Amino acid sequence: MPNAMFKKFSREEVHSRSNIKSSVQRGLKAKLIEQFPGLESVIEEAMPKKSQMVQIKCSDKVTLYSINSEVLFFQSFDDPLVPTIKFVHKYPEAFPRVKVDRGAIKFVLSGANIMCPGLTSPGASLPESPGLDVGAVVSIYAENKEHALAVGVLTMSTEDIKSINKNCGVEVCHYLGDGLWNFSE
């Protein structure tokens, strides 16, 4: 998953959009539940059986999935599906979360990856052990804030982040105010 892949993103990068088959949609749903078990109880509400999902293909092998012209998920090539922030805001319970301290917010909002100290300082928090593994998709929260400000992929397991506490811990792929956030059909 490239870092801050939507930093520059606009309507021009959309190559094609097509309605997807309901069977494919079902498959996608199953994949989502497998990836985020917390979603199971709300998936019917988020993606009703009768809804028509639209697949939007963009440059660099990025694919967006939207319902009712609202992008819910995106995917780069065959990487795991990643929810958009708007979707995380709607169903915050469904996704694993990490929390950064206040000093990091500014940098995250300009698309920087999150360094370990920003995740281990007093204002921040990580899931309890056993924690999450490398490559897990996490929603990123901030100190004293209620809502998520970014989504990213772990480049270290959370236990490693705690013990090593150096270098990049989370790769941010989508954050408040980036191209995808401002994208509308």
Interacting residues toward another protein by CB under 8 A: 41-42, 45, 86, 89-93, 101-103, 105-106, 109, 121-123, 143-147, 149, 176-177, 181-182
What is the closest distance, in whole angstroms, from the C-beta atom of residue 10 to another protein in the complex?
Answer: 12
- Give 2 or 57: the residue with its C-beta nearer to another protein: 57
Sorted by sequence, the CB contacts under 8 Å of residue 39 that are 6+ apart come out as 32, 33, 46, 91, 94, 95
Residue 133 or 185 having the CB closest to another protein? 185
CB of 163 to another protein, least distance (A): 21
Terminal-residue alpha carbon distance, the chain: 24
Backbone phi, psi, residue 84, to 5°: -80, 165
Query: Which residue, among 55, 67, 36, has the nearest Cα to 151 in the 3D structure?
Result: 36
Rank residues 2 and 123 by Cβ distance to another protein and give the closer one.
Answer: 123
| Dist CA 120 CA 123 (whole Å) | 8
Identify which of residues 100 and 154 has a Cβ nearer to another protein in the complex: 100
State the nearest-atom distance from the C-beta of 46 to another protein, in Å. Answer: 8
Least Å distance between CB 109 and another protein? 5
Q: Report the distance separating Cα 182 and Cα 184, nearest Å.
A: 6
